[in-house]
Amino acid sequence: MNVFRKYLRDNRRSIIGWTIAMSVVSAMYTSFYPTVGQNPDMAKAMDAYPQALKDALHMQDLTDPANYLASTVFGLLIPALVIVMAIAYGVKAVAADEEAHTLDLVLAHPVGRGSLALQRVAAIGASLAIVSAAVLAVTLALRNSAGLSAVAPDRFVAVCVQLLLFGLVYGSLAYAVGAITGRRGLALGVSAGVAVLSYLAYSFFVQVDALQWTKNLSPFQWYLGGEPLKHGLQWGDSGLLLLVSAVLVAAGTARFTRRDVAV
C-alpha cells in the first residue's frame, strides 16, 4: 500500500485550494510594492508609526525591495497560512484518523505503523513543497513588473526553501503530539499555542529586555532572521529547522509504534 500517494490523492482538493490561496496572496502583496515602496506619501505615513510597532512588525524601510518582501509577502500572511496548513495536515496524519476510529482500518492493510506515519509525514512535506513552489513561481513571475528586480532570483529561491522548512516544523509538531497522544484537540492546541508564542518571541517579546533571548528559540527567527532575501539561503538556520522537524518526527513515530491505538 502506497500511503504517500494515497495521502496526496485524498487531499488533492485541499492542496489545490491552499496553492491557489497562497498564490493569490503572494501576487497581491508583490504587486502592491510600487504603491507602497515607491510612494513618498506612503513612506512618510510609515515614518509616523511608533518605532516600537515598526520594530515588532519588522517594517523597516519598505522602499527597499527585500525589506518590503520580508515584511509583507514572506513575513505576514504567507507564513501564517503555511502554519495553518501544516498544523491541519499534521493533526490529520494520525490523531484525526484515530479519534474517528478509522486508523485501525488503515492499519489492517499490509503496512507497518512506522511506514504509515513516515509516509504521511513525507506527504505533508511534499504538500508544503507544492505551495512553496507556487509562491516562488508567482513572485518570480511578477518580480520585474512589480519593480523588485533588485532582489536576485536565487534570493527568492532561498526564502521559499526556508518557508518550506519553517512550515515543516509546525507540521511535525502537530504530527508528533497527535502520534504520541492520539488526541486531535491536544495536537491542534499545542501546535497553535507554540505558533503564537513563537511569533510573539520574534516580534513583541524582543521589545522587553528580559525576554529578548526568546527570539533565538523561535522558528520565525530561524526562517527570516538571517534575511535570506538579502543574503541567500542560511544554511545554519535551515539545518536547525530541519533538525527540529526530524527530532519531532522521530519522537512521534517512536511512540506511535509502541502504544495502543484507539479502535
Under 8 Å between Cβ of 152 and 66: no
Mean pLDDT, the chain, whole residue set: 89
- Is residue 137, in this structure, part of any structural domain at all? yes
Structural domains in the chain (count) = 1
| Cα 1 to Cα 68, 116, 119, 128, distances in angstroms | 46, 9, 11, 23
Q: Residue 101 falls within a domain, yes or no?
A: yes
Residue 262 lies in a domain: no
Cβ contacts of residue 218 below 8 Å, gap of 6+? 198, 199, 201, 202
Residue 99: pLDDT band with limits 50, 70, 90: confident
Does 263 reside within a domain? Answer: no
Question: Would you say residue 107 lies in a domain?
Answer: yes
191 in any annotated domain:
yes
pLDDT at residue 48 greater than cutoff 70: no
Report the pLDDT averaged over residues 78-87.
97
Contacts of 64 (CB under 8 A, 6+ apart): 37
- For residue 9, pLDDT over 90 is answered with yes
| 45: Cβ contacts below 8 Å, ≥ 6 apart | none
Taken in order 11, 16, 19, 24, the sign of the CA dihedral is negative
- What is the structure's pLDDT at 45? 59
96/178 Cα distance (integer angstroms): 8
Rounded to whole angstroms, the Cα distance separating 3 from 11 reads: 12
Q: How many CA atoms lie within 13 A of 158 on its CB side?
A: 24
- The b-or-e profile of 20-57 (16+ CB within 10 A means b, else e) is ebbbebbbebbebbeebbebeeeeeebeeeeeeebebe
Residue 261 within any structural domain of the chain? no
User: Which of the four pLDDT bands, split at 50, 70 and 90, describes residue 128?
Assistant: very high
Contacts of 21 (CB under 8 A, 6+ apart): 81
**Domain that residue 121 falls in:** 3-256
**CA 121 to CA 46: how far, in whole Å?**
42
- Which value, to the nearest 10 degrees, does the dihedral of the CA atoms of residues 39, 43, 46, 52 take? 140
The whole-number pLDDT of residue 55 equals 62
183 CB contacts (<8 Å, ≥6 apart)?
95, 99, 177
Name the more confident of 132 and 56.
Answer: 132
Average pLDDT over residues 185-205: 94
Residue 65: alpha-carbon gap to chain centroid: 22
Cα separation values, 144 from 130, 134, 152, 257, Å: 23, 17, 11, 50
